[in-house]
Structure 1
């Protein structure tokens, strides 16, 4: 397969990057100013300094023409550079135009200064080098062939008398342009010099351009690799980046299993399903992989005799693979796995390719270790949540049983209690209520973390959920003689993408807290407001407020503000649960409070249409 170009904001052209062409423009323009002025100066001083006769007026006209079209090119390139995003078609056209104009001027100057006898013919080589640096090899070859062909045509035209020959008196003792040996020597030397210059310059340009494309692809590919902490995504993006950067048939990434006996295929790109289903990759049956894992060094297999080092040479042949490059995926302490690049070309890989794929693997290994560490931490957190859930679930039954016994005793079913006994049992019952509340919150927190990402999202009406919560809290509101008002600033049905029960728990906790921490006779306002692509739900109360020093720790597990503890019972887990559920729905929560003045919690949720 053929890899595509990297996705970037810049245009890729048949020549090098447009920015490079435009950046080279000022240099060529300055050089051309010097060339035009040099032609004028050489015309004026040739006879006085060198004793060489040149046609003054035609040469001066050519010099002025060079300066004139260079001024026009300067204005055109200035317009291209100031256009913000480079306009590729105009930049390419201008580059072709300036070379055509330069070559025309060069050909005229060569004709005016002796044709094939002209000392200026060597400057055509400079123009061939410039074309080879700017353009891809095929286009540069056309320019190089045109330079040789135009020079040969000029020599033939002057020798045949089709155009007049202008002999430079004082430079050649006689007119050699009609001598066959001289023509063959000069034109042969010029052709050889032009060909060698084209080959060297175009080879260097192609090498630099290929390196630039690889680095650009590597940059964008590794950006994608490092944008995720999911191990599967990291490895898949690494494989895609390697295929795109190296222009190979396919890439596979395998991780060494815990027993260090096999490679577990983790990601691939470009390879057929039949090849991927070839069977387990065992280190004992693949000397090549065993060597890479053991030594931590890259290995290239592209000779027929080396295929014995592979476990599945028949499957490789069926896939059309001719060359394989193995590079270790090295972590900080050990080899994590192996990255394999496959090419259908013979002898496709060299040391440079090994170094380049090694650079991808080195950057990818860091992302892999981060993803593995993240996965381990997530697993540890889930194990902790599972343990907490199990323990609290086991505690719930005996606590409920103890509470039932205490309620039975307080109801007088086991005999009358004196005042001291009743007070003691009621205090014990309140402690059990607090313990039961803690168990419920721990269970909810653990369940939420274990189910993170598993609960199904649905279209939920925010207004309907808030109204349900308000209806559910009416007994507490009436008991404390509070004023609870729902303020809807927009009649539109505000729908978010979330789990309905989770959203109910969020607002039940926030509105319930506002009711709980507001003294009798106070007020609570719930305001629902659409804002651009999200909905804002603000819960404001006239309660006890939150001290400024407590605000930074408000969403920390088991933390409660100092003024909240004596006012009402709590566990310090409710807001932690709220924050996690809000963020799970793609939203965020903020708080604004003054101690003694009240508190406002605001939940921001993206609308379903925006998602």
Structure 2
């Protein structure tokens, strides 16, 4: 925040409130005048020119009503000058009204003269310092004029019979003494009150400045907190850098912000993200590390007050055309190595203070961590893709010979190559069983290693979820019959069509229901329910099998993981089935959850968004 911004105070609201207070106070004063006149006449029996005083009161009433209506019109006004002028006019008219009241209540001998002191205090509160002593001077002048005009008998004198026994309005010494003490007391009280008011205003200004500094600090802390949350929630480098550039420019109230990263040669700074800068300026030419704000690449913040005159700026003319006046560059440092710079651009000349530089440096530190994390994540993804490609290659190379071995074993077992002994048949059957398990593992590895991007970009085909479920149940029917497992199926009458990579839904149901059959004891029960909800399609597969312990539940979707009780019941298994199911569900923006209790059963719930599944009025 600049010093100019700090010095700006919301005086308009303050003046509006004070003027409204003065108008309300004037209503009270008007009521006080009317009550005082009545008491003076009827209680104290002091004669007063009631008609003249009531006329003055009527004038006060009309003026105050006009003031009130005019203030209503100024509700949307933001000009401190207009409010100050409005307050000055009101106080001027108040002093004129007081002058008439003094004349009609005894002139120089009137007790109403004391109210000038009260109004002097109000003037010091409402008026600007240059007008502080103008009002007391006017008050002395008006009272003096009344005294002189009554003394010269230009205007008549009202004597307060019963209140003053001997009238002194024609005694020059008395008049001089009263005016002298009145002027002295008025100026002294004005001086004291204005001194106090000045100190209070200075203190108020300091408090407002402190409040604004605190608000700026809070906003900056909130920005850092928001950036840290974003950095921790995503590893998308482009998204993080774009948010950093926008937030930094908004919080620091500058024209624009850019993030530049050193390339592999460390000789040029490549653009990572920007905000508030034109494409023409960003593409002005290569930004050389040894020509553009080089101190920042040495680990020190660089502040440039005038980009057109500072030799550290590589493209001063382009910056001038862009409307950039000043710049601040802070280094992006990770593990004592500079990896780029965060640059802040202003439209007006700006000398960045230490707080602004420190704030920008704090953002730069967070950005450095985000960049490093994103690069590390990118390497992990590259490694994972390499692993998947290797897995796919090995599995492809292995599937053909294993299939050939399986075919040869089946040929021998079927007797096409001659009679074999029972012992040979037993050994060959075991070998064939192993090849089936091995081939299942190869197929799972191929599914697991398939590149997600290639799958999503491959041709999708519409598939009926109900028909696919029926196909899988038909394939598993013999095993369920052997174990006397009861199957309960509940599907909507309306066909549900999903555009899938061929075979995905079949793999999903085969793995979930196949596991349920495998790990459910004889005479158990399996249920499959498919339902249509407001915003989703819900698939629930539950069984009365061995269940999953609470220790195993967090790991069941991990690759090659098998629970302890599953390994005890079935030695054979890849531990890849549920990993494949989870990948298929997430491929279609779905979610999968599981609930289980050992020895009671397991329930898998899959939710697909409605936009991924078409509800067809007729079968496909």
Q: Does 1:245 align with 2:251?
A: yes
Q: Does 1:256 align with 2:262?
A: yes
What SS is found at the alignment partner of 2:448? helix
CA contact (8 A) 1:218 1:245 kept: no
- Larger Rg, first or second structure (1 or 2): 2
* Deviations, residues 307-345 of structure 1 (Å, cap 9, x unaligned): 332332232122121211101112234222211111121
Q: Does 1:408 align with 2:411?
A: yes
Using the TM superposition, give the Cα deviation of residue 287 of structure 1 relative to its aligned residue in structure 2, in angstroms.
4.5
Cα distance in 2, alignment partners of residues 204 and 479 from structure 1: 78
Counterpart pick for 1:291 among 290, 295, 317: 295
Counterpart pick for 2:443 among 416, 440, 443: 440
What SS is found at the alignment partner of 1:560? coil
Using the TM superposition, give the Cα deviation of residue 511 of structure 1 relative to its aligned residue in structure 2, in angstroms.
1.8
What SS is found at the alignment partner of 1:160? helix
Using the TM superposition, give the Cα deviation of residue 581 of structure 1 relative to its aligned residue in structure 2, in angstroms.
3.1
What SS is found at the alignment partner of 1:291? helix
1:271-420 paired onto structure 2 within 5 Å: 271-284=277-290, 286-288=291-293, 290-293=294-297, 295-303=298-306, 307-420=310-423
1:406-485 paired onto structure 2 within 5 Å: 406-447=409-450, 450-451=452-453, 454=456, 464-478=464-478, 480-481=480-481, 482-485=485-488
* Deviations, residues 231-274 of structure 1 (Å, cap 9, x unaligned): 11111110011111111111111112232222121111111111
Cα distance in 2, alignment partners of residues 252 and 271 from structure 1: 8
- In the other structure, the counterpart of 2:50 is none
Cα distance in 2, alignment partners of residues 593 and 207 from structure 1: 55
Cα distance in 2, alignment partners of residues 249 and 312 from structure 1: 17
- In the other structure, the counterpart of 1:558 is 560
Cα distance in 1, alignment partners of residues 404 and 275 from structure 2: 59
- In the other structure, the counterpart of 2:142 is 160
Cα distance in 2, alignment partners of residues 218 and 550 from structure 1: 38
Using the TM superposition, give the Cα deviation of residue 352 of structure 1 relative to its aligned residue in structure 2, in angstroms.
3.1
* Deviations, residues 42-80 of structure 1 (Å, cap 9, x unaligned): xxxxxxxxxxxxxxxxxxxxxxxxxxxxxxxxxxxxxxx
- In the other structure, the counterpart of 1:510 is 512
Cα distance, 1:475–1:114 mapped onto 2, change above 3 Å: closer
* Deviations, residues 345-381 of structure 1 (Å, cap 9, x unaligned): 1235333322221122222323333333333323322
- Structure 1 regions of 5+ residues with no counterpart? 1-13, 26-91, 128-143
Stretch moving more, 156-165 or 334-343: 156-165
Cα distance in 2, alignment partners of residues 430 and 171 from structure 1: 126
Using the TM superposition, give the Cα deviation of residue 480 of structure 1 relative to its aligned residue in structure 2, in angstroms.
3.6
Q: How many residues align?
A: 493
Report the TM-score, using the length of structure 1 for normalisation. 0.66
- In the other structure, the counterpart of 1:591 is 594
CA contact (8 A) 2:529 2:539 kept: yes
1:205-224 paired onto structure 2 within 5 Å: 207-220=213-226, 222-224=228-230
What SS is found at the alignment partner of 1:337? strand
Cα distance in 2, alignment partners of residues 216 and 116 from structure 1: 51
Cα distance in 2, alignment partners of residues 503 and 465 from structure 1: 7
- In the other structure, the counterpart of 2:151 is none
CA contact (8 A) 2:468 2:505 kept: no
Note the aligned Cα RMSD (angstroms). Answer: 5.0
Cα distance, 1:517–1:186 mapped onto 2, change above 3 Å: closer
Cα distance in 1, alignment partners of residues 426 and 495 from structure 2: 51
Cα distance in 1, alignment partners of residues 252 and 315 from structure 2: 23
Cα distance in 1, alignment partners of residues 144 and 229 from structure 2: 63
CA contact (8 A) 1:148 1:190 kept: no
1:6-17 paired onto structure 2 within 5 Å: none
Cα distance, 1:443–1:188 mapped onto 2, change above 3 Å: same
- Structure 2 regions of 5+ residues with no counterpart? 1-8, 18-75, 99-112, 148-173, 614-620
What SS is found at the alignment partner of 1:308? coil
CA contact (8 A) 2:124 2:194 kept: no
Cα distance, 1:372–1:498 mapped onto 2, change above 3 Å: farther
What SS is found at the alignment partner of 2:240? helix
Stretch moving more, 382-391 or 588-597: 588-597
CA contact (8 A) 2:527 2:543 kept: yes
Cα distance, 1:334–1:195 mapped onto 2, change above 3 Å: same
Q: Does 1:176 align with 2:144?
A: no
Cα distance, 1:192–1:603 mapped onto 2, change above 3 Å: closer
Cα distance in 1, alignment partners of residues 554 and 196 from structure 2: 79
Stretch moving more, 327-336 or 184-193: 184-193
Cα distance in 1, alignment partners of residues 605 and 399 from structure 2: 33
Using the TM superposition, give the Cα deviation of residue 441 of structure 1 relative to its aligned residue in structure 2, in angstroms.
0.8
What SS is found at the alignment partner of 1:451? helix
CA contact (8 A) 1:469 1:507 kept: yes
Report the TM-score, using the length of structure 2 for normalisation. 0.65
Cα distance, 1:355–1:603 mapped onto 2, change above 3 Å: same
Cα distance in 2, alignment partners of residues 514 and 337 from structure 1: 55
Using the TM superposition, give the Cα deviation of residue 275 of structure 1 relative to its aligned residue in structure 2, in angstroms.
1.1
Cα distance, 1:594–1:346 mapped onto 2, change above 3 Å: closer
Stretch moving more, 425-434 or 452-461: 452-461
* Deviations, residues 287-311 of structure 1 (Å, cap 9, x unaligned): 51x3212x21110122357533233
Cα distance, 1:121–1:546 mapped onto 2, change above 3 Å: closer
Cα distance, 1:589–1:493 mapped onto 2, change above 3 Å: same
- In the other structure, the counterpart of 2:171 is none
- In the other structure, the counterpart of 2:272 is 266
